[in-house]
Chain A
Amino acid sequence: MKLYILPLRFPDNNLLEDLSSTLSNIFKLPVLLLPKPFSLEEGYDTVRNQFNSTWILSRLLEQTPDESCKILGVTSVDLYVPVLTFVFGEAQLDGKVAVVSSYRLREELYGLPKNPERLKERLEKEAIHELGHTFGLIHCRKPECVMYSVTYAEEIDFKSKNFCDTCSALLESKKASS
């Protein structure tokens, strides 16, 4: 099995490289960059000034290069699902695709000084979290586990990059069976 990263309006290549090596370490899977981004135009909501993450997931599903793979879309635009004001990312539960946005992970959005290191950490955690959903993992009650559900950016800083023992075991059994 392979993990693919597809940048969608994501200009920071260094950050992408860091993300790709972290994902490879955590999931113990090869991670490849997909070179062909698609246009996000159709997913844009002019009233909300946000992009529909569910629409992005449906487009990502069309990109899957092979049967047993996961694709993670990485973007810098603000994401939403229709019923919620925003999302950090979205994933197909027990599926193939996920998307994550750096938009609300940036300190400067909250009036704080830029912090590239913190942004990197947050993006990694949210990417791992959304990919975890594609392996069928649901939210975990342990605050240190990466599958812990957060609704504030600063809450991401409290959890680790790693899966707890239970989630880790579920992940491994899922990887083995697929």
Chain B
Amino acid sequence: MDLNNNDKPVNILVVDDELSVRDSLTKWFREDGYRADAAADATEALKKLKPRVWDIIFLDIKLPGMDGMELQQRIKSVDPHATIIMITAYATVDTAVKSLKEGAYDYVTKPVDPDYLSHLVANVIKQRRLLSENIQLKERIQELYEIDQIIGESPAMLKVFDLIKTVAPTDTSVMIKGESGTGKELIARAIHSNSHRRFFPIITVNCGGLVEGLTESEFFGHEKGAFTGALYRRKGKFEMANGGTIFLDEVGNIDPKSQTDLLRVIETRQFTRVGGDEIIKVDFRLICATNRDLELAVKQGTFREDLYYRLNVFSISIPPLRERRSDIPLLCNYFLKKLAASMNKPVTGFTPEAMERSKVYDWPGNVRELKNAIERAVVVAKGSLITVDDLPIPPTSKAVPEGQSLEAVERAHIKNVLEQMGWNITRSAEILGIDRATLYHKIEKYGLRKQT
């Protein structure tokens, strides 16, 4: 480990009434490139605490006047972050143990082995660096979530925010309902990042994209050799989410066998990996999302009723964008600012007509569609304002041939887009403003096939 090549010099204070101990220790530390100073008693030590922040304090247990134990507590009240190492003679090991209970990092007995001392100091410094790095990283996570806010001022969205605040600090399972593109994952992340689990991971499983037969391994992991192709032991999503949150997106697409597995792990909070015997206990919070009517699926018998009630303890419904049109300008400006900055283009606003058309459009793909539309507009915009022509929104709703149902129109449109994109699912889903899982679902639903 690199000890000296770091921005901050390490400060070490030696408190001992024996001059020879003070001198030899400070000298030894200075030769190692640390900033070292010494104090002969508690009064001098306390005086020296103020002007400089000490990383490590070596403290003799036996001091004239106030003893080392008492001084330790005084130091902790002034600087709780200082690492204290007690110095003791063999006779006072009992006291040293007591001081460890009071929060000292370690103790050394006089005379100390130089090798032991250098390792001890190196370990303390390493631990302190990790600790401060950990604090910094936590602060950065906090910042990231604070920046990445969910946008909305409409009463409907304010209600959603309220629900998030209510449920986040609890461990209750949450079901997020909303059309495709309304930002269900964002809501799940907001709940996670406002919960006490925020320093543990949130693991997302897209249940729409799971391959039947491999779902169990995806959820619970597998042992080496559990099946053909299981070359290594692999952790499942539930194991990865230990301590944190597991987010099951498109939970309505889970096959019946996996529904049973899921119910069991929710109830018992334990499972075994595929091909293994070891029972693994996990602590997770469950958040699900769906754009399907699960109550209908329960009635039709395609979704287990008991599982549904387990998942749907607290539900949050996100309104589609067309039901909260007052948020459209807010979202338009938010995405414009963000995207223009990331693309480094001097686009600053919308022409009144462009904004008006955004407001009346229905946005079937919701916020995702709106974001994609603005991204495209920023790319093609020529001036500082986005015009009607830059927006990929039809001027008026197209005349639909009579006798065609909404489903038929949707089928034809999806087919058209897929063919134009050469059946590239990712690109097609982007254009349609839906996620890939939903697109797969619709391809299956409408029985669409790639022409060869």
Q: Which residues of chain B come closer than 8 Å to A141, judged between CB atoms? A: 2-5
User: How far apart are the CA atoms of A106 and B362 in the complex, in Å?
Assistant: 88
Q: Which residue of B lies closest to A94 (CB)?
A: B30
Q: Is B28 an interface residue (CB 8 A)?
A: yes
Contact yes or no, A138 B118, CB < 8 A: no
Q: Is B33 an interface residue (CB 8 A)?
A: yes
Contact yes or no, B30 A81, CB < 8 A: no
Contact yes or no, A82 B24, CB < 8 A: yes
- A81 → B minimal CB distance (Å): 4
Q: Is A4 an interface residue (CB 8 A)?
A: no
Contact yes or no, A83 B5, CB < 8 A: no
Q: Which residues of chain B come closer than 8 Å to A138, judged between CB atoms? A: 30-33
Contact yes or no, A93 B111, CB < 8 A: no
Contact yes or no, A80 B115, CB < 8 A: no
User: How far apart are the CA atoms of A93 and B118 in the complex, in Å?
Assistant: 18
Determine which residue in A83, A87, A93, A152 has the highest number of CB atoms from chain B within 10 A of its CB, and name it: A83
Size of interface on B: residues with Cβ below 8 Å to A: 25
Q: Beta-carbon contacts of A86-106 to B below 8 Å, as 1s and 0s?
A: 110000010000000000000
Contact yes or no, B3 A54, CB < 8 A: no
A48-B111, A139-B33, A151-B114 known; 5 new pairs, CB 8 Å cut-off, are A82-B21, A83-B28, A85-B111, A93-B30, A93-B31
Q: Which residues of chain A come closer than 8 Å to B4, judged between CB atoms? A: 141
Contact yes or no, A85 B3, CB < 8 A: no
| Chain A positions near chain B (C-beta within 8 angstroms) | 48, 54, 80-87, 93, 133, 138-139, 141, 149, 151-152
Determine which residue in A84, A93, A133 has the highest number of CB atoms from chain B within 10 A of its CB, and name it: A84
27 pairs, A vs B, C-beta closer than 8 Å:
A48-B111, A54-B20, A54-B24, A82-B18, A82-B20, A82-B110, A83-B21, A83-B25, A83-B87, A84-B24, A84-B112, A84-B113, A84-B117, A85-B111, A85-B112, A85-B113, A87-B114, A93-B27, A93-B30, A93-B31, A138-B31, A138-B33, A139-B32, A139-B33, A141-B2, A141-B3, A149-B118
- B38 → A minimal CB distance (Å): 11
- A144 → B minimal CB distance (Å): 16
Q: Which residue of A lies closest to B22 (CB)?
A: A83
Q: Which residues of chain A come closer than 8 Å to B32, judged between CB atoms? A: 138-139, 149
User: How far apart are the CA atoms of A101 and B32 in the complex, in Å?
Assistant: 20
Q: Is B23 an interface residue (CB 8 A)?
A: yes
Which 10 residue pairs of A and B lie closest in terms of their CB atoms, listed nearest first?
A151-B115, A81-B24, A82-B20, A83-B21, A151-B114, A138-B33, A85-B111, A85-B113, A83-B24, A139-B32
Q: Beta-carbon contacts of B3-45 to A below 8 Å, as 1s and 0s?
A: 1110000000000001011011101101111000000000000
User: How far apart are the CA atoms of A133 and B30 in the complex, in Å?
Assistant: 10
Q: Which residues of chain B come closer than 8 Å to A93, judged between CB atoms? A: 27, 30-31
User: How far apart are the CA atoms of A83 and B17 in the complex, in Å?
Assistant: 12
User: How far apart are the CA atoms of A93 and B24 in the complex, in Å?
Assistant: 12
Q: Which residues of chain B come closer than 8 Å to A139, judged between CB atoms? A: 31-33
- A117 → B minimal CB distance (Å): 25
User: How far apart are the CA atoms of A82 and B30 in the complex, in Å?
Assistant: 17
Contact yes or no, B114 A54, CB < 8 A: no
Q: Which residues of chain B come closer than 8 Å to A152, judged between CB atoms? A: 115
Q: Which residue of A lies closest to B117 (CB)?
A: A84
User: How far apart are the CA atoms of A83 and B19 in the complex, in Å?
Assistant: 11
Q: Which residues of chain B come closer than 8 Å to A83, judged between CB atoms? A: 20-21, 24-25, 28, 87, 110-112
User: How far apart are the CA atoms of A95 and B18 in the complex, in Å?
Assistant: 23
User: How far apart are the CA atoms of A151 and B20 in the complex, in Å?
Assistant: 21
Determine which residue in A48, A82, A149, A152 has the highest number of CB atoms from chain B within 10 A of its CB, and name it: A82
Picked from A54, A84, A133, A149, the residue with its CB within 8 Å of the CB of B111 is: A84
Q: Which residues of chain A come closer than 8 Å to B5, judged between CB atoms? A: 141
Q: Which residues of chain B come closer than 8 Å to A81, judged between CB atoms? A: 20, 24, 28
- B63 → A minimal CB distance (Å): 15
Q: Which residue of B lies closest to A137 (CB)?
A: B31
- A11 → B minimal CB distance (Å): 27
User: How far apart are the CA atoms of A141 and B4 in the complex, in Å?
Assistant: 7
Q: Which residues of chain A come closer than 8 Å to B24, judged between CB atoms? A: 54, 81-84
Q: Which residues of chain B come closer than 8 Å to A84, judged between CB atoms? A: 24, 28, 111-114, 117
Q: Which residues of chain B come closer than 8 Å to A151, judged between CB atoms? A: 113-115, 118
User: How far apart are the CA atoms of A10 and B204 in the complex, in Å?
Assistant: 73
Contact yes or no, B111 A82, CB < 8 A: yes
User: How far apart are the CA atoms of A162 and B437 in the complex, in Å?
Assistant: 66
User: How far apart are the CA atoms of A133 and B27 in the complex, in Å?
Assistant: 11
- A126 → B minimal CB distance (Å): 13
Task: List residues of B (303-359) whose CB comes within 8 Å of A's CBs.
Answer: none
Q: Which residue of A lies closest to B111 (CB)?
A: A85
Q: Which residues of chain A come closer than 8 Å to B31, judged between CB atoms? A: 93, 133, 138-139, 149
- B245 → A minimal CB distance (Å): 43
- B333 → A minimal CB distance (Å): 53
User: How far apart are the CA atoms of A87 and B25 in the complex, in Å?
Assistant: 12
Picked from B2, B23, B30, B33, the residue with its CB within 8 Å of the CB of A54 is: B23
